[in-house]
Amino acid sequence: MTSNGTSAFVAFERVQKSYDGEILVVKDLNLSIAKGEFLTMLGPSGSGKTTCLMMLAGFETATHGEITLDGKPINNIPPHKRGIGMVFQNYALFPHMTVGENLAFPLEVRGMAKSEREDKILRALDMVQMRDFIGRRPAQLSGGQQQRIALARALVFEPELVLMDEPLGALDKQLRETLQFEITNLAHELGITTVYVTHDQTEALTMSDRVAVFDDGRIQQLAAPDTLYEQPQNSFVAQFIGENNTLTGNVSKIDDTMCEVTLDGGEVIDAVPVNVSAVGEKTQVSIRPERVEMNRDRLPENAHTLKAEVKEFIYMGDIYRTRLSVAGTDDFIIKTRNAPDQRRLTPGEQIEIGWRPQDCRALDA
């Protein structure tokens, strides 16, 4: 069963992978993906996310455990018989074939009649708005156009599952953002189950129904994008997803809903106890830059306040990014909206900052 109570369309059960018989690249993975879900595997290089995708595609074999698709074990089924669409970063289009021939290939392999092939090719090209390019070769297309064709080729035989490995990595920022929305909309419109691999957090947060954050061969947290960002379960997730401030200290009081942390510099603050359980435990306190206020009139009544020195004040158009020296760290960041009441700060200026205790999380040290 998946977390939303429906039966799993894709399931990894106690899956492990080792290339040398000793070091596990994927450690005891249990993961259920619902039909029609857009799930992203996110993590740094070497975290195991691409290996998981390759085992699902059939290009790698699990050392231990079972992978099922629609309830059927697929460990021993070759890649071309799994009926899965694939999109890679390098497009993997055949250079000597036209766009139409590239799309016809997966249909020919499946023994489809010519008349039926033509209908499906045109429908897939219409999905990605590329019908007019049917006679061109890949070399005559831009990077973004080639990626659209690669996507059309993955969808042309109407698979129920599409796997994407860093498909937008080679494109510029603006084109990447356009294609992010196109891919997500298309996946939801067609009801396709999508497993997407990236190391780009923004991409993961904007595209996914759920995100599995990988590190060291394990899923560190699996949740909806807003839950991952607002409620990270450990220091790795807090640091990896978005920008994050950390202050180190020791737990000096604790109950079910709040703990008191004495910071290394002696200041005392309250935080939500997430990964701490006892007085005296070392902790890293996590607070997001946009949750910190430096306008006194905007601070809530129960706010914590700390003294800070301005190190840098950067204008970024829609926001100001201020770097401060706070409680022993020189890298404390605040993001504030570019609003009429936000005055410009100067390096060296002493200010007071504050936040609500419930926006502060005590995590593992």
CA-CA distance, 68 to 10, in Å (whole number)? 6
Closest by CA to 173, choosing from 210, 143, 217, is 143
Q: Which one, of 173, 101, 106, lies nearest residue 144 by Cα? A: 173
Under DSSP, is residue 150 helix (H, G, I), strand (E, B) or coil?
A: helix
d(C-alpha 320, C-alpha 316), whole Å: 6
CATH class of this structure's domain 244-364 = mainly beta
**Cα–Cα distance measured from residue 206 to residue 166, given in angstroms and rounded to the nearest whole number:** 15
Q: What are phi and psi of 346, to 5 degrees?
A: -120, 145
Question: Which architecture, in CATH terms, is 8-235?
Answer: 3-Layer(aba) Sandwich (3.40)
The span from the CA of 224 to the CA of 49, in Å, is: 17
Pair 284, 246: CB distance under 8 Å: yes
Query: What's the pTM?
Result: 0.88
CB of 164 within 8 A of CB of 197? yes
Domain locations along the chain: 8-235, 244-364
Q: What is the pLDDT along the chain (365 residues), one digit of tens a residue?
A: 444 445 799 999 999 999 988 899 999 999 999 999 999 999 999 899 999 999 999 999 999 999 999 999 999 999 888 889 988 877 678 899 999 999 999 888 888 888 888 888 998 998 888 899 999 999 999 888 888 898 889 888 888 899 999 888 877 888 888 889 888 988 998 899 999 999 999 999 999 999 999 999 999 999 999 999 999 999 999 999 989 999 999 999 999 899 999 999 899 999 999 988 899 999 999 999 999 988 777 777 778 789 999 999 999 999 999 999 999 899 999 999 898 877 889 999 999 999 989 999 999 98
Is residue 15 within 8 A of residue 66, CB to CB? The reply is yes
Q: How far is CA 330 from CA 124, 243, 254, in A?
A: 53, 15, 28
> 8-235 and 244-364: same fold?
no
